[in-house]
């Protein structure tokens, strides 16, 4: 009798990639906290606004082989990133442990995992519904970052308005564009996502407001 070792090897491979996701999260969290303390506004913004994290989690979800691995890897990445971020603040900077750490860990296992799983599903389906999910993912950096200030400066430059975080505004737009290009699996779904991104931005803004009531 021949025993098929492929399922066991697949489990080992998935386990290794889960560990890699956690390790990358630790590095990302430490880098984000270091950026916070760098004195460079643009660097601090990259770690503080959601664009970079949305991009990372969305790509993990899009290219995972199954919906379960998408959720697991993204949760491991985000949880490890959160621990590293707050550990740096507590040990290296002497700020003490934040009561928000367990909140973000719960969100890692729920909201973040669900976001990655939805991205996995939307990236493999066609039509308006998956396009709406992709548009919502792309809308998060637009609603939660500094793109609005950058856009106001572009359309109303003669007024003398100067955006406070122009680099982050560009990053927000670039991440949204990247998600609209990369996530859809067909051109028609991509077109739907582009058409839906403006109303999705309003929805994302409401969802982020609700999230802020939890995270402070």
Task: Read off the pLDDT of residues 18-59 as tens digits, 9 standing for 90 and up.
Answer: 888 889 999 999 898 888 888 888 888 888 899 999 999 999
CA distances in angstroms from 59 to 36, 71, 122, 197, listed in the order given: 24, 12, 12, 18
Nearest CA-CA partner of 206 in 133, 144, 119: 144
Whole-angstrom distance, CA of residue 105 vs CA of residue 80: 9
Angle at 136 between CA 131 and CA 141, to 5 degrees: 135
Collect all residues with Cβ–Cβ distance below 8 Å to 59 and sequence separation of at least 6: 182
Q: What is the pLDDT of residue 12?
A: 60
Q: What is the pLDDT of residue 129?
A: 97
pLDDT (tens digit per residue) in 114-169? 999 999 999 999 999 999 999 999 999 999 999 988 888 887 765 666 778 889 99
> 165 — phi, psi (to 5°)?
-125, 65
Q: Which residue has the higher pLDDT, 211 or 15?
A: 211
Whole-angstrom distance, CA of residue 86 vs CA of residue 195: 38
Angle at 112 between CA 51 and CA 168, to 5 degrees: 10
Q: Cα 42 vs. chain centroid, distance in angstroms?
A: 18
Collect all residues with Cβ–Cβ distance below 8 Å to 179 and sequence separation of at least 6: 54, 55, 58, 134, 137, 138
């Amino acid at each position: 009798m021949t025993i098929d070792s492929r399922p066991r090897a697949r489990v080992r491979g998935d386990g290794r990639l889960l560990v890699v996701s956690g390790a990358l999260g630790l590095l990302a969290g430490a880098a984000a906290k270091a950026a916070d303390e760098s004195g460079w506004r643009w660097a601090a913004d990259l770690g503080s606004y959601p664009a970079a994290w949305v991009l990372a989690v969305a790509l993990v979800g899009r290219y995972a082989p199954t919906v379960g691995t998408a959720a697991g890897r993204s949760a491991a990445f985000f949880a490890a990133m959160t621990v590293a971020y707050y550990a740096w603040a507590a040990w290296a900077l002497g700020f003490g442990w934040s009561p928000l750490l367990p909140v973000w860990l719960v969100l890692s296992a729920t909201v973040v995992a669900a976001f990655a799983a939805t991205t996995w599903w939307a990236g493999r389906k066609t039509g308006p519904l998956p396009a709406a999910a992709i548009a919502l993912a792309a809308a998060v950096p637009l609603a939660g970052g500094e793109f609005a200030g950058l856009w106001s400066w572009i359309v109303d430059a003669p007024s003398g308005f100067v955006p406070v975080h122009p680099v982050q505004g560009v990053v927000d737009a670039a991440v949204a564009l990247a998600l609209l290009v990369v996530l859809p699996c067909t051109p028609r779904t991509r077109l739907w996502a582009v058409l839906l991104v403006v109303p999705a931005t309003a929805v994302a803004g409401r969802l982020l407001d609700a999230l802020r009531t939890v995270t402070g």
